[in-house]
Amino acid sequence: MKITLHTEYEMNGVSLKNRFLMAPMTRSRAEEPGNIPNALMAKYYEQRSSAGIIITEATQISLQGMGYAKTPGIYSQKQIEGWKLVTDAVHKKGGKIFLQLWHVGRVSSSKVNGLQPIAPSAEIAKDTQVYIFDGAPNGDATFVPVEKPREMTKDDITQVVEEFRTGARNAIEAGFDGVEIHGANGYLIDQFLRSNSNHRTDEYGSTKENRIRILKEITQAVADEIGANKTGVRLSPFISFKDMNDPEILETIMIAAKALNQIGITYIHLCEADWDDAPTIPEDFRIKLRANFTHTIIATGNKTPKEANDLLDKNLVDLVGFGRKFLTNPDYPKRVQLNATMNDISDPHTLFGGGDARGYTDYPFLDV
């Protein structure tokens, strides 16, 4: 049987009605104070529950782990209760949803959370900004440069591992089907993985094997807490923005993949660049990853349905993620099936932030 996006998939005990994944997208709609998910967010995710699986927007595991304004958390009871609105809404529509656990590390500013950033090494990320909302007339986010981080102590590392564990436990309490550990896009775990951002000389740095240690410890802690079958990890070997260009990263990722396979997690989610001149991921990398990681592999990065189906048919991936297409087309799988016209972004000002439905939950469904 030819495998396509519309083929069902059994993901280590989680039954998916198709192979469309709604990719995590930061939208900054959480309520302040408290960074609490709300009913508007529940409607947004509910509308998109025709995806085989939804991965939520990145969700900080602590106030220290926060890097952008109005992003939701998973470390307070009010946040847990807020997320229950989301999971209840998605499950009532027959959808599946994982929460993405996030710590930004050095990609932050005290203007966001009142705290100095922490990182594997005390080195600022050049040409990197985060955003706040400071009352601009059009409601737009205001970008501010990141601040110099403090190098993490061993106690800091132990605390972060426990915060990931607690975040996973809280996610299950909130009704999620599982969690995705965010190890991509220049955030904390990715900072440990890369030689250019990790200059430590202890057991968390200096070699590729040491640089994956915190990823292994976090993943093992989460898997021990909620089960490896409910645990996924996102990685971004070919993305180097936020000052993350590391010549050793591809070798490091393969070492990490073997370690994650040994832990037995459900999936690795490759975040692939989605801009026009982005690097193409070589097929031999995908073949090697498949050999080193025997469970579910996901690819996300501005793919057309045809490109996605080709990857599925070649057994290089098992699920394919779509971001902006789901943002503007809540019924994206149906539109692909019918080869229907797609909605475009209605107003770029509404991508990050906003207190109402505009550009968030007002994208139309097909009238069929």
What's the first-to-final CA gap in the chain, in angstroms? Answer: 29
Query: Beta partners for 182?
Result: 234
Taking the C-alpha atoms of residue 110 and residue 126, their distance in angstroms, rounded to an integer, is 17
- Residue 211 makes CB contacts below 8 A (sequence gap 6+) with 192, 193, 194, 195, 198, 204, 205, 252
Tell me the torsion sign for CA atoms 119, 68, 58, 86: positive
| Nearest C-alpha neighbor of 236 from the set 228, 244, 224, 247 | 244
Taking the C-alpha atoms of residue 104 and residue 99, their distance in angstroms, rounded to an integer, is 16
Helix (H, G, I), strand (E, B) or coil at 10: strand
Residue 33 preceded by cis peptide, ω within 30: yes
Taking the C-alpha atoms of residue 260 and residue 147, their distance in angstroms, rounded to an integer, is 32
* Element counts in the chain: helices (H) and strands (E): 12, 14
Cα dihedral angle (59, 167, 263, 287), rounded to 10 degrees?
Answer: -10
Name the active-site residue from 187, 204, 267, 332: 187
Letter for the amino acid at 138?
Answer: N
Cβ count within 10 A of residue 39? 12
Taking the C-alpha atoms of residue 191 and residue 140, their distance in angstroms, rounded to an integer, is 29
Active site residue 68: no
Taking the C-alpha atoms of residue 51 and residue 16, their distance in angstroms, rounded to an integer, is 9
| Nearest C-alpha neighbor of 237 from the set 284, 183, 291 | 183
Query: Beta partners for 20?
Result: 320
For the annotated catalytic residues, the residue numbers are 187
